[in-house]
Amino acid sequence: MLNKQQNFGKKSESIAARHLKKHGYKILEQNYRTKLGEIDIIAKDKNTLVFVEVKSRSSNRFGNPKWAVTPKKQRKVSMVALLYIKSTKQSNVKARFDVVAISSAKYKPSIEIIKNAFELAYK
C-alpha cells in the first residue's frame, strides 16, 4: 500500500505523462526500473529518445520543483538511461534529458516541461 507521499508522486507522474502526450511525446515506458535506479518516463519526441524526470511540489515552501534535480540525481538518471539505450540497442539514436516540474495549486497544477534540462552526467 502506498503512503500519502507515494500517492502524490504517482499522481504527478500520471499528470506529467498526459501533459507530455498533449505536447506530442509518445510514452514508451513509465517507472522504468533497474538495479541502478529508476527513470520516471521514457518517451519519444519526434525522432529523439527522451528520459524524463518528474518533480512535483504540493507547495512552494521548498522552492520550484525544477531545481530539485540534483547532480547526484542527474548521474543516476544518466546511468539508467545508458543502460536502457544499451539494452534496447539504440546507441545510434538522438537522446536528451527533460524535466517536468509540477507545482500543485488548489485546483489546477502548474506544469512546465524543461527540455534539455541537463547533460549526460556519469562522473
The pLDDT of residue 63 is 67
**Domain count within the chain:** 1
Asked if residue 123 is part of any domain, the answer here is: no
Provide the pLDDT for residue 50.
98
Closest CA to 100 of 61, 65, 72: 65
Q: What's the pTM?
A: 0.90
The answer to whether the CB of 70 falls within 8 A of the CB of 53 is: no
Per-position pLDDT tens, the chain of length 123: 767 777 777 888 999 999 999 999 999 999 999 999 999 999 999 999 999 999 988 766 666 778 789 999 999 999 999 999 999 999 899 999 999 999 875 567 789 999 999 998 765
103-110 long-range Cβ contacts below 8 angstroms, 24+ apart: 103/56, 103/57, 103/60, 103/64, 103/65, 104/56, 104/57, 104/58, 104/59, 109/15, 109/56
Q: Does 83 fall in a domain?
A: yes
Query: Is there a domain that residue 34 lies in?
Result: yes
How far is the C-alpha of 60 from the C-alpha of 42, rounded, in Å? Answer: 27
**Residue 106's pLDDT is what?**
58
74 is a domain residue: yes
The domain that contains 106 carries what CATH number? 3.40.1350.10
CB 27 within 8 A of CB 17: yes
* pLDDT (0 to 100) of residue 57: 81
For 108, the domain range is 4-118
pLDDT given at position 121: 79
Rounded to whole angstroms, the Cα distance separating 84 from 93 reads 12
Beta-carbon contacts of 111 under 8 Å, excluding residues fewer than 6 positions away, are: 15, 16, 19, 100, 101, 102
| 54 part of a folded domain | yes
Residue 78 lies in a domain: yes
